[in-house]
């Protein structure tokens, strides 16, 4: 029963986000200043992303605590996942560039080195996570092939 309520609420939330996105796109097309609606849509995207990160971390920590209380050996996998995630984020942030180019300033926006570092770190973080996912798929499939072959 509770899963049906959650599923219905998530469907309603998706529909609401789609409708709001359509409204913002139409208002951006019809606006005299196209940056106004686009800026609010970017802000909505940032807030939605922040809520998703909080939800991911919250559910992850909840399930980690639950596994730690019931079966501590199974909790090690979650702990290793958190450590890899945060170390990857730290590596991406450390490698990020802070150079503000003329192209970034051309639109009249105020761009700081911190903004550039966060944007660059985010992009590198996604690339590193993608490579780690690809590497883990190759390792698991390779082990499976070797296990079935030998």
pLDDT tens digit sequence for 94-112: 998 887 777 767 777 777 8
| Cβ-based neighbours of 95, under 8 Å, separated by 6 or more | 121, 124
Q: Where are the domains of the chain?
A: 1-70, 72-150
Q: Which two tokens stand for residue 6?
A: 């959650």
Residue in the block written with tokens 């072959």:
149
| Cβ-based neighbours of 93, under 8 Å, separated by 6 or more | 117, 121, 125
For the chain, percent of residues with pLDDT exceeding 70: 89
CA distances from 29 to 18, 22, 23, 24, 107 (A): 17, 11, 10, 9, 19
**Own/partner pairs, 109-118, CB within 8 angstroms, 24+ separation:** 117/93
What pLDDT, on a 0 to 100 scale, did the predictor assign at position 69? 87
What pLDDT, on a 0 to 100 scale, did the predictor assign at position 87? 93
Instruction: Assign 140 a pLDDT band (cuts: 50, 70, 90).
Output: very high
CA distance 31 to 146: 60
pLDDT tens digit sequence for 22-63: 887 777 677 666 566 667 667 777 788 888 888 888 888 888
Are the C-beta atoms of 107 and 71 separated by less than 8 Å?
no
CA distance 47 to 39: 12
**Own/partner pairs, 131-139, CB within 8 angstroms, 24+ separation:** 132/84, 132/88
Q: Which residue has the higher pLDDT, 123 or 74?
A: 123
| Averaged pLDDT of the chain | 83
């Amino acid at each position: 029963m509770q899963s049906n309520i959650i599923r219905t609420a998530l469907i309603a939330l998706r529909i609401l986000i789609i409708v709001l996105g359509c409204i913002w796109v139409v208002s951006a097309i019809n606006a005299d200043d196209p940056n106004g609606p686009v800026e609010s849509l970017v802000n909505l995207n940032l807030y939605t992303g922040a809520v998703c990160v909080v939800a991911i971390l919250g559910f992850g920590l909840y399930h980690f605590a639950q596994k730690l209380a019931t079966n501590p050996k199974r909790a090690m996998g979650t702990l290793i996942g958190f450590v890899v995630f945060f170390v990857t984020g730290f590596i991406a942030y450390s490698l990020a560039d802070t150079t503000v180019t003329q192209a970034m300033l051309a639109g009249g926006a105020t761009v700081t080195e911190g903004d550039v570092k966060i944007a660059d770190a985010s992009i590198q973080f996604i690339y590193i996570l993608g490579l780690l996912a690809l590497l883990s798929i190759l390792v698991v499939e390779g082990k499976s092939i070797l296990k079935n072959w030998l």
